[in-house]
Structure 1
């Protein structure tokens, strides 16, 4: 096609319009000039190299193009509606997530200060006769508290800044998508009307209407790219956690039949064929899961699990000790971190309130910390030495036990495995 034409003011025409120069019926349509012409106009030198159609054929060609374009416009219109609704929902969700992450940061630093304070009290027990040591102890606690408070405030400030940036991007995206939506609705309505018009009216500004619609189809329609708030989460892990590291072993009587446990009960993998095992009241009959032999009713506990050899896994705790059957339930009280690998992409989720979390790299080792007395639980990326997620308002009904799960694939078993790491040896 030639250069884009501006819309022309439609002359007063009828289905039997005549050429004003030759007074003959306008039976032809010049594609290059976008005008109707008569047979004598066609013989003029100006139209010698132009593409000319019989007028009804030209109208049907454009009518077909209009309908095809209209179909694509309606498709993009639905996409625009969906993106606009998503952007508005994301604005609400990003505010909720920001508050949730702030709560996590405050709870994590509060826990770290509590652990450090207790560790300091153990090193420098309060003795009335030793006021100097007591003053040193209090000074040390105050310094640690100040440092942790400063780090907490820095992290909260990063969350505030990132939250504002994300909200600004979402609002700009909402405005842009809303504008495109209005344009799509307007052009779609006009094009629907155009498709039903008679020949002469349909051909008025035909190329302009088509090019305007195509231009709208070419406009980008993508949701805003925002930064996941988890990028602001706490870096580094408290060394005091090592004090609470426990020897954890797997309980064979709870292992799903498709799982093969190592002799030392520290590792689990999927078996090629499910072994013949006795059915016990405590054995998992859903998912490839197994409980730890150890249970915790009070106190603080920490353990680490190597997950690098698993593409789909779950780690956490399960409240199943107090049940009458003592059998873990599908809907039992659990707190989980879940990892899933699809090709080279990794997706991580936390439960309860199933929520996707953003982690940029594959994890090789996960640390789990449970404070039964304060209802707190934290997951750590040991490889990167960073917090993954923190629960601070848990209510434990009774004793809890660590739980480990692998995903049973469709078809042949894969080589997924999990290994409980031995406690660190003090240096």
Structure 2
């Protein structure tokens, strides 16, 4: 019997990744209120009135209680400061990795575009071979050189923006880490002083007692905040959609692989999640662990591109799948996960599992597969901007398009995905890169 599909975030996103906002530690009461408490233990003194020695222990005891209360709050603030400091240090490491990964994606995207343009020009020359002349060859070569020069300039500008942004972010994080270190040092120092005062006799404890409390409150009133850095996704790589449109092919869903909680449209282009399990015949290729369905097409060579409307799904996964004896292994799939929680939209990539610096919500995702060059790229198809790409994947065997939805246990969900129709006919004989591909159905 098929299992109820687990949430994709439960399956692919390890616990503890999401960072919750930490509340600031509670503050002590106002100084005026505090002094009222202390003044009650001291007798009123007129001009020249002697200090009543018997009242000193009571005043000291009140201050001792205030010190102990303050110590608890200071230790909470100290712990919060250490956590934020650790987070800032981790963010520096993550940012460096993200920047390096972004640079690699830019270089990979540059290579893809040059390769596509070169092969398209060569194919057009072969098509026009009967009317071929020297002028046509020279024109094509000039066109390719101009395209390559402009593209290189564009990508160099993107790299420069990325480097500048990376330096600015690192500077902010280091400055934040220094401020936190100084604040932690001050908190530790005043904590030691108050602990020592709590152990002092009454007459010594009352010396500079109010000053010690004022210093403590001053530290507690300093607001702890992480550095505000700019997301690397502002360095978006755009302008790819037109080049990929000529590679777009129609993809259809395979009913034999659909999980029982999924309903396919009659034209096999849309998949919808339902909360009631369908009665379906058993099949060795059917998914019974996650709410997944595969495409009919099997790719063993060439370049392929398809687009999916994800605007009606709060959580989804797209990518490619390689048949394996272990159906739920992460090694047999390459995925992009999108998750919408309120107004916060997050992307995750697998493998390796990582969060992606791309904040905008995407309504249509483009998937590009280059089998020979072992690459898969995901795009915001509406804007033509790169979301993420994978290189050096070492493909083996046939790859199939993969589509997944997610449902929470006991929840009501009507999420759906729809495969978009090609912008151009896949049989267009001017499409060079696609004509050499191999697709099995």
* TM-score exceeds 0.5: yes
| 2:375 is aligned with 1:373 | no
Alpha-carbon distance in 2 for matches of 1:53, 1:357: 68
Match of 1:65 in 2: 66
**Alignment RMSD (CA, Å):** 2.7
3-state SS of the aligned residue for 1:303? strand
Match of 2:344 in 1: 345
Question: Offset of 1:46 from its aligned partner?
Answer: 7.8
Structure 1 alignment gaps of length 5 or more? 6-28
Equivalent pair of 2:248/2:424 in contact (CA under 8 Å) = no
Deviations 1:237-267 (A, max 9, x none): 2412112111111111111111111111111
The correspondence for 2:248, drawn from 241, 245, 248, is 245
Question: Offset of 1:403 from its aligned partner?
Answer: 0.6
Question: Offset of 1:278 from its aligned partner?
Answer: 1.6
Question: Offset of 1:342 from its aligned partner?
Answer: 1.3
1:389-404 map, 5 Å: 389-404=388-403
Alpha-carbon distance in 1 for matches of 2:250, 2:210: 77
3-state SS of the aligned residue for 1:72? helix
Deviations 1:113-143 (A, max 9, x none): 1101111112234969722211111111111
Structure 2 alignment gaps of length 5 or more? 1-30, 429-441
Question: Offset of 1:380 from its aligned partner?
Answer: 0.4
Alpha-carbon distance in 1 for matches of 2:343, 2:167: 31
Match of 2:211 in 1: 208
1:99-138 map, 5 Å: 99-125=100-126, 130-138=133-141
Match of 2:431 in 1: none
Alpha-carbon distance in 2 for matches of 1:385, 1:167: 29
Match of 2:200 in 1: 197
Match of 2:46 in 1: 44
| 2:187 is aligned with 1:184 | yes
Alpha-carbon distance in 2 for matches of 1:176, 1:205: 27
Normalized against structure 2, the TM-score is what?
A: 0.83
| 2:156 is aligned with 1:157 | no
Equivalent pair of 1:287/1:408 in contact (CA under 8 Å) = no
Deviations 1:277-336 (A, max 9, x none): 12211111111111111111110000000001000111111111xx3x5x7334342111
Greater relative contact order (Cα < 8 A, sep 6+): 2
Alpha-carbon distance in 1 for matches of 2:37, 2:409: 62
After the TM superposition, which segments of 4 or more aligned residues of structure 1 sit over 6 Å from their partners? 126-129
Moved more, 96-105 or 295-304: 96-105
Deviations 1:170-200 (A, max 9, x none): 1111111111111111111111111222222
Alpha-carbon distance in 1 for matches of 2:329, 2:258: 14
Normalized against structure 1, the TM-score is what?
A: 0.85
1:282-301 map, 5 Å: 282-301=285-304
Moved more, 377-386 or 143-152: 377-386
Larger Rg, first or second structure (1 or 2): 1
Alpha-carbon distance in 2 for matches of 1:425, 1:223: 49
- How many residue pairs end up in the alignment? 391
Equivalent pair of 1:98/1:163 in contact (CA under 8 Å) = yes
3-state SS of the aligned residue for 2:300? coil
